Chains A and B, each alone.
Chain A
């Protein structure tokens, strides 16, 4: 294949893309830098010395609320949502491979779950729990509220994956005498594993960062995003940025770890 010379259009678009990336990452790096603000520094540049004071401040619970507790709750909730999202989306994806009565309705219900404003879901679940006499809590009502946001993503991804999945592999396995469980666990599952990990990543990060749906459903204990949201109105020191840096670094680690796992799985599959 011969390589064409780059056109002028390419360079203009490349600059546009670079500006877009700067737009995405610029502000984020500003708070990353400002979280190392000196003890007397404020919320804006310039840096007034460099210190870890605001990070230390984070772990003195009384000053900024319950950061440790809310972080633990958010991380645990994220894992719960991730596991359920992966399992339920996989099952639904398998179900949609065959036609059944109500399939279209269920599909549009999942799409509806994506477009219904989060605050309406939040209000609805809050009122529903109230009327049923149940106590809302992060592990029950907020858990369900998060699932209404992560499941449609998972279902749509699985739907797309199985749309492109050739049944020839399964037919071959069956011809070789594999049972339907063997076909699923030895043939289908390894092939869709990277997509499932992707669904899991979505499930975790969407839940870990979600707060509109948690607003009315978290009960008496805050999740991390609610804690941060509360801080935006009453905290005027760089401790807010320190918290932002810590959670962002945590998100980056989760994303990098997951991507590493996907790349590793793909390599292993190509080798075998």
Chain B
């Protein structure tokens, strides 16, 4: 039956298409060309360029084509670099752990406790909207809250809890982590929400019928099934934090450092080859982390 219909349509198609037709494989290639060209020219080529330039020589004004390992020796040989990498990893670890906890519970609440789909979508949008506004504005918005005379300090002083304003609220590592959590949590909420929504509710019911408590259902059914979403969220959050320079700069008031901030400072001093060497090291580190996470999860299946 099925074969008859398909051969019928084929004949109809052949009769109708008098003109010349492209084979399907060629159409696929044509459709893929724009993406390939754009990413080739604006992503692959620039990264190759960075790799090349990282071996070049430079002075205060110019770069000179060369093959030196000096930029890498200077980068990897300095304890400042290692400290900066450790500091960046510390931020990544803290922000990852906090966004994972917040992200999971928010997604879990939306997916399992909100009963109508339209309400789920409304609440999800409420979470999403701030993430479509400017990152810098959202960073700055912490200043009147955390500052020396900010809302929290004046509230605590006026209510007599403390006598002196707390100094470490703003321009500190605390402020950096808080702002990063504020900026990046949605990147954890969305993928986890996506996987939780696809869990078959009958699995939960089956577990309950078999006598599992809510806690057992959570730890034995839901969390294992949510792992792919957590992995994708982790990729987002970790790469965003590893690449961050603006949050660290603005929220620490220049007192803390990150790898990307170090690169940015080198760039503003026109030390491009040094920045390029740093970029290569950072890129290798980030891609290794992502490759490690991708071993756990197949993104193509999760979309």
* Majority-rule SS of B interface residues: helix
Partner of A23, one of B136, B143, B182, B290: B182
Contact (Cβ within 8 A) B141 A212:
no
- Say yes or no for B35: interface residue by CB 8 A criterion: yes
Interface pair B141/A30, CB less than 8 Å apart: yes
Give chain A nearest CB distance to B46 CB in angstroms: 3
Which of the 9-residue segments B69-77, B146-154, B219-227 touches chain A?
B146-154
| Stretch with Cβ within 8 A of B (4 or more), from A53-61, A63-71, A185-193, A225-233 | A225-233
Which residues of B in the span 176-199 have a Cβ within 8 Å of any Cβ on A? 182, 185
Question: How close is B114's CB to chain A, nearest CB, in angstroms?
Answer: 9
Query: When the two chains form their complex, are residues B105 and A127 in contact, meaning their CB atoms are under 8 A apart?
Result: no
What residues on A are CB-neighbors of B275 within 8 Å?
123
Question: Are B144 and A244 touching (Cβ within 8 A)?
Answer: no
Whether B149 lies near A44 (C-beta < 8 A) is yes
**Pair B134/A30 contact, Cβ less than 8 Å:** no
Q: List 13 A-B contacts (CB under 8 A).
A: A17-B109, A28-B138, A88-B38, A92-B32, A98-B25, A102-B32, A106-B35, A109-B39, A117-B242, A120-B50, A144-B41, A163-B303, A212-B260
The interface residues of chain A lying within 8 Å CB-to-CB of B53 are 127
Report whether B31 and A212 are in contact in the complex, using a CB–CB cutoff of 8 Å: no
**Cα of A31 to Cα of B145 in the assembled complex, Å:** 9
- Are B136 and A225 neighbours in the complex by a CB distance under 8 Å? yes
B134 engages A174 (CB within 8 Å):
no
Q: Which of A100, A106, A110, A177 has the most CB of B within 10 A?
A: A100
Instruction: Given A21-B126, A100-B32, A244-B134, answer yes or no on A215-B264 (Cβ-Cβ < 8 Å).
Output: yes
Q: Tell whether, in the assembled complex, residue B243 and residue A212 are in contact, meaning their CB atoms are under 8 Å apart.
A: yes
Closest beta carbon of chain B to A160's beta carbon, Å: 4
B-contact 0/1 string along A4-35, CB 8 Å cutoff: 00010110011011001101111110110010
**Does B204 sit at the interface, judged by CB under 8 A?**
no
Please, which residue of chain B has its CB at the minimum distance from the CB of A204? Answer: B132
B interface residues, Cβ below 8 angstroms from A: 5, 9, 12-13, 16-17, 24-25, 27-29, 31-32, 34-36, 38-39, 41-47, 49-50, 53, 102, 105-106, 108-110, 113, 115, 123, 125-127, 129-130, 132-145, 147, 149-151, 154, 182, 185, 214, 235-236, 239, 242-243, 245-246, 250, 260, 263-264, 267, 272, 275-276, 279, 282-283, 286-287, 290, 299-300, 303
Residue of A nearest to B238 (CB): A115
When C-beta atoms are compared, the residue in chain B nearest to A113 turns out to be: B43
Task: Give the A-B contact count at a CB cut-off of 8 A.
Answer: 256
Known contacts A116-B286, A209-B133, A209-B134: does B141 contact A27 (CB below 8 Å)? yes
- A205 close to chain B: CB less than 8 A: yes
A 201-241 contacts with B by CB, 8 A: 201, 205, 208-209, 211-212, 215-216, 225, 228-229, 232, 240-241
Judge whether A21 and B127 touch: CB under 8 Å. Answer: yes
A117-153 near B? 1/0 per residue, CB < 8 Å:
1111101111110010000000000001101100100
CB distance from B25 to the nearest CB of A (A): 6
* One of B34, B109, B115, B138 near A91 (C-beta < 8 A): B34
Task: Write out the residue numbers on chain A whose beta carbons fall within 8 Å of the beta carbon of B47.
Answer: 116, 120, 124
Chain A residues at the B interface, C-beta cutoff of 8 Å:
3, 7, 9-10, 13-14, 16-17, 20-21, 23-28, 30-31, 34, 43-45, 84, 87-89, 91-92, 94-96, 98, 100, 102-103, 106-107, 109-121, 123-128, 131, 144-145, 147-148, 151, 155-156, 159-160, 163, 174-175, 177, 179, 201, 205, 208-209, 211-212, 215-216, 225, 228-229, 232, 240-241, 244, 247-248, 251-252, 255, 259
Contact among B43, B113, B144 with A43 in the assembled complex (CB-CB below 8 Å)? B144
Cα(A205)–Cα(B133), bound, Å: 7
Knowing A27-B182, A30-B144, A151-B35, say if A121 contacts B46 (CB, 8 Å).
Answer: yes
Distance between Cα atoms of A141 and B277 in the complex (Å): 22
Residues of A within 8 A of B267 (CB): 123, 126, 216
Quick check: A9 and B214 within 8 Å, CB to CB? yes
Q: How far is the CB of A228 from chain B (nearest CB, A)?
A: 5
Report whether B260 and A119 are in contact in the complex, using a CB–CB cutoff of 8 Å: yes
Q: A24-B130, A232-B140 are in contact. Are A44 and B46 (CB under 8 A)?
A: no
- Distance between B239 CB and nearest chain A CB, rounded to angstroms: 4
A244 to B250, CA, bound (A): 15
When C-beta atoms are compared, the residue in chain B nearest to A141 turns out to be B42
Q: Which residue of A lies closest to B303 (CB)?
A: A160
Given contacts A44-B150, A92-B32, A148-B43, contact A27 B108 (CB under 8 A): no
Q: Which residue among B42, B106, B147, B185 has the maximum number of chain A CB atoms within 10 Å of its CB? A: B42
The interface residues of chain A lying within 8 Å CB-to-CB of B236 are: 114
